[in-house]
Every structure is written in structure tokens, then in C-alpha cells.
Chain A
Amino acid sequence: MKVKNKHKSFSVKKIISHFILIISSLIFIFPFFWMIMTSFKPASEIFQYPPTIFPSKFLWSNYVDTINAIPIIRMFFNSVFVTVTITVGTVFFCALSAYSFARLRFPLRDTLFKLFLATMMVPPMVTTIPMFIIMREFGWIDTYYALIIPFFFGSAFGTFLLRQFFLTVPMELDEAAKMDGASYFTIFFKILIPLMKAPLAALSVFTFMGTWNEFFWPLVMIQTDKLKPLTLGLASFQGLYSTDYHLLMGGAVISVVPVVIAYLFAQKYFIEGIALTGIK
């Protein structure tokens, strides 16, 4: 990746760039560092001024206090359950639907797709209000159903995204398989899906991230602590223990760690996924 350049300003430019990037990186990383440090400080040390950068001692007991203060372990599992279910469901049903729109011919296909696109234009705040009333009618308020079902069968966006990629695969593959007697589902599952690894990974990452971090929807639909995902749990936590910053930071750490770990391992997919969507 090193480019040979004859200009003398080459190295100066690089040094300045590094300098700016290092300072900026500190600005992006510091809040996380500060969150971790604060989570280990004894309560008395939090309000000290001038503040200490490192805790005088690393109080792991703060985390025990956090776990006792709110059912954060339960909330953690709620987040996992809801996020994984929705991600799996969305990817599968959107892929199936996208394949249908991209590959199969049937009456009204394009009209139906345009309808899909139209719904994507409407901001969530328009639909959440009536959805609350509808969920109330279904008796789904304060249940996992309200959190999962509306999203489990995929979204218009996911289908739109995957359809773009299905369209780029040459039809010859489908036709060859059909001549061998393969059913449409087999073509979908055995041939096209393996070719769609990148877009499928991108959609999975988006859905995972979006669902794990979702706040407004659970805020409206869930009142009982037992069912709250981490985002909502953290908000309630702040409501109850608004000045117990050492505990709040601990809660934040717990809610942030899974996504950050997933991110650090699958960085490539996160970043490429975003880039992929941008280009399409």
C-alpha cells in the first residue's frame, strides 16, 4: 500500500496527519475509557474534584451492586433473545422475499415492490403511535410479542437491499439449475444464497446492531422490568439512580460490551456492510 512519491512534503503531510488522527482518536476513545474507569471507582471518589483519572482501587463490587440494583442480567438476556431472533428472522424472510422480487415473475410484482418502497419513506414516528394502539388491541403490550413479531418477518428495507444484490447475479445460474429440475426454493437456497454472503452479512450486522441498540420501540411497548432490553433497562436505571454514576457506568459497560466485542471480531463486516449500502 506504500506509494512512492517524489514530493518532499510527503513525510511532513504524513506526520501532521498522524498527529491529527491520534488526537482525534483520543477524543473518540476517551468517553469509553472514562466509562470503564468510573465504573470501578468507589462512590465517594466519584464526586471528588479534581477528579482522579484512575480509580484508587478497582471495585469489582460495583458491578455486584449494579446487578442487585436492577435485573440487568435478565435484561441482558432479553436483548440477546430479541436481537438474535429478529436478526435470524429478518435475514431469512427478507432474502426469500428479495429473491422473489428479483427473480420470479408474477402479476403485480412491480406494483407490490413500489408499495414496499413507499413504506420506507415514512418515518418510524408516524407508525409507532398507531402501532401502540394496535399492540394494545392484540394484548401484546408488555410481552415479547410486541418486541419481536413486528420485526421477525423482515422489513421493506432489508428486502430492498437484498434485491439490489440478487439483481447482480447472472440469470444463467438460475436457468441452468432449473433445467436440472431444481425447485425455486432449491435455486434460492443452494445456489443464490451462497453467492450473497457479503450482503447477507451486511444485513445481519445492521439488523443486529439496530435491534440491540433500539430504544424508542421498547420504551413505548414495555413497562415491566423483567421484559426490558438493555437500552430500556439502562434508561430506567438512570431514572432511579441518577447520581450513582459508578453504577450507571457499570450498567453502560454491560450494555456496550457485547456489541463492542462483536464489532472488534467482525469489524470487517460492520464497516464493509455500511460501505456496501452506501454504494447501492
Chain B
Amino acid sequence: MVIKVVSSLKDQKRKKKSSPKKSMKKQAYSEALSGYLFLLPNFLAVCIFMLIPIVFSFWLSLTEWDLINPPKFVGLENYSEMLTDGRFHTTMKNTILFSLITIPSSIAISLFFALLLNQAISGVKTYQAIIFMPVVVSMVAVSVIWRWIFNTEVGILNYFLDFFGISPVGWISTEKWALISVSLVAIWKSIGFNMVIFLAGLKGIPRQLYEAADIDGAGTIAKVFRIEIPLLGPTLFFVTIMTVLSSFQAFDVVYMITDGGPGDSTNVIYYWIYQHAFKFFNMGYAAALSWVVFAVLFVVTLMQFRFFGGKANYDL
């Protein structure tokens, strides 16, 4: 196909430029040429579709533009507007709340399962496959299913609670529960992913440590808290960063299950930015919002490196 043509062309180019006897300079030249050529398509793509948009976005954030009229330069007005935008504060609050619920729960539960599956019990592969399944399907499909499960009148979840005499909960119809429900779905979907990473980390713990602990007569709990969790430092660090990044950027689940509602209770920042850019066509303000989110994420990640970076490296 196209790829074979391109690759054979490249091969021919290589053969044309190389001759049996070369001076060192020609070698270096040919190597550099290959170097640039090989990375060219990939690099160009990153330039055109990442670098340029980043710069463009920065400029955009300093303008007011609805795509119909020409863009108007407004300097830092978008950013100052944010300080008084009540709904922006609400969406940031929701995003932080959502993250505070999702992140610890997801990490704790997936760590728990990883510890369970790290034992020499039968059926580990099967359990792992089942727990990981929600990860491979789209959040859109998952949301469609959970929206049905959460249905207040006839949803299966309320029916299940009915068995225990609990009256129906308005999972996605009441402001009180909507954010929690959406968070639940995000947790459910992410556990398998984090668990697999934790499992890989657990496998890296040397057996001698367990054997030494056995000799000292340590029980399971002691092993978990004295050996496994400390040595999972780097893994925990990685998982935390990934989970923070994904919770702050939650979008699909909100779009599909609650549309930001009821009221503004599940309006998270990414959804808010989406509305500004593609519903209200406030391109400038939306761009500015996205940069603020980037700044927040950057600071949060930096803080994690500073406080936990020490644990990210260790020598045994």
C-alpha cells in the first residue's frame, strides 16, 4: 500500500546516497539525513497538529472571537472575566469535588484488588479479565448503560436497593446525587486500569523481602503495610498522576449521563469549556479557560513531584 511505496522510496533514497567507500564526514551526513527524514512525518504532524495549535490557542485566549465577526484583541480581559464568572467558579468546584471523590476511591479500590490478585489463588487471569473489561469499552457506551441503571423509577439499581428497604434514589435526577453518580461510573471504569499497573508494580517486589518477613513472623497485614505499599511508591506516584489528569478532564461521562445537570451540579470544567467553544462560540474565552486548567494541572503535577517525587525513586 502507500506505506510500502513510501518505505521502498526511502530505501532507494538511502541506497542512492550511500556508496561503498565513505569518509567519516559523509557517514555523519548520511546518518543525519536519515535521522531527519525518518522523524519528518511524525515531527511535522506534531508541529502542525500540536505546536501550532498551542501557540494559536495562546493568542486566541487574548481575543474575543465568535468565528463570524473578525477576532477582536482584548488582552487579558478574558482572564479577568474569569475572576467574576460565577459559573466558572461552580464548574471548578465541581471538577475538584469530582476529583476528590474519584481519585482516592479509584486508587484505594484498585490497590485493594491488586493485592487480592497478587496471591497464589486460582482464577487470577479470569478475575483480572473481568475487572479490566470496563476499561476497554468507550465511556460513551458505559454511560448509556449506567444512565439506564441509574433511572429513578425503573432502574435496576433502585430495584436492588428496594430489596433492602431503601427508598428510590434520584441518582441522576437530583442535584445532591448527580455528581456522586457520575463519579461512581468513572471509578467503576478506571479500577481495572489502575489495578493492572499496581499488579505490575507488585510483581517487581523481590521475593527475598517476603521470605525475610516470613522469618520474622510477619502476618499479611504487616506485609502489606511494611513491604508492599512502601515499595509501590513509584507505581502509586504514576497512578496518582494519571488519575488526577483524567479526573480533571472528565467529559464523556458528563455529556452522556447528565448534560452538566441537574442545574449545574455536574458541570465540570471540560464540559464548561466545550459549551463556551462550541455552543456559545466564545472561542477566546474558551481558550483562556483551557489555559487556566492547564496551569492548574501543571501546578498540581509539580506539587506531586515535589512532595512524592522522592518516593518515585529508590535503590534496593
A residues whose Cβ falls under 8 Å from a Cβ of B: 1-3, 9, 13-14, 17-18, 20-21, 24-25, 27-29, 31-32, 34-35, 38, 46-51, 88-89, 92-94, 96-97, 99-101, 104-107, 109, 112, 115-116, 119, 121-127, 129-134, 136, 150-156, 159, 181, 183-186, 188-189, 209, 212-213, 215-216, 219-220, 230-231, 234-235, 238, 245, 248-249, 251-252, 255-256, 259-260, 263-264, 267, 270-271, 274-276, 278-279
Contacts and interface: CB of A to CB of B under 8 A. Distances in A.
Given A21-B113, A104-B32, A132-B277, 7 more contacts: A32-B133, A47-B153, A51-B156, A154-B45, A248-B148, A260-B133, A278-B238
A46 B154 contact: yes
A249 B39 contact: no
Nearest to A79: B138
A119 B51 contact: yes
Interface stretch (B82-90, B172-180, B194-202, B308-316): B194-202
Given A29-B130, A183-B15, A17 B138 contact: no
B140 A255 contact: yes
A188 B34 CA distance: 11
A271 B297 contact: no
B148 A245 contact: yes
Contacts of B196: 271, 274-275, 278
B128 interface: yes
B204 to A, nearest CB: 8
B201 A49 contact: no
Contacts of B131: 24-25, 28
B11 A183 contact: yes
B129 interface: yes
Interface residues of B, number: 103
Given A123-B293, A133-B67, A35 B145 contact: yes
* Majority SS at the chain A contact face: helix
B11 to A, nearest CB: 5
Nearest to A124: B249
7 contacts: A1-B120, A133-B60, A183-B14, A220-B278, A234-B140, A259-B137, A270-B136
Contact of B145 (A31, A126, A267): A31
Given A3-B120, A14-B121, A126 B294 contact: yes
A207 to B, nearest CB: 13
B290 A125 contact: yes
Contacts of A235: 140, 255-256
Given A17-B119, A184-B38, A123 B139 contact: no
Contacts of A92: 3
Contact of A263 (B10, B136, B249): B136
A105 B291 CA distance: 35
B141 A256 contact: yes
B50 A112 contact: no
Nearest to B273: A125
A109 B32 CA distance: 9
A17 B28 CA distance: 60
B287 interface: yes
Contacts of B147: 238
A127 B47 CA distance: 12
Nearest to A189: B7
Interface in B220-277: 220, 235, 238-239, 245, 248-249, 251-252, 255-256, 270, 273-274, 277
Contacts of B33: 106
B57 interface: yes
A8 B130 CA distance: 30
B128 A271 contact: yes
Nearest to B30: A184
A12 to B, nearest CB: 11
B158 to A, nearest CB: 9
A32 B38 CA distance: 44
B36 interface: yes
Nearest to A134: B53
Contacts of B248: 123
Contact of A129 (B132, B192, B277): B277
Contact of A123 (B132, B255, B294): B294
Contacts of A109: 35
A259 B153 CA distance: 32
B249 A159 contact: no
Contacts of B113: 21, 24
A185 B7 contact: yes
Contact of A96 (B38, B57, B128, B142): B38
B116 A153 contact: no
Contact of B116 (A20, A183, A279): A20
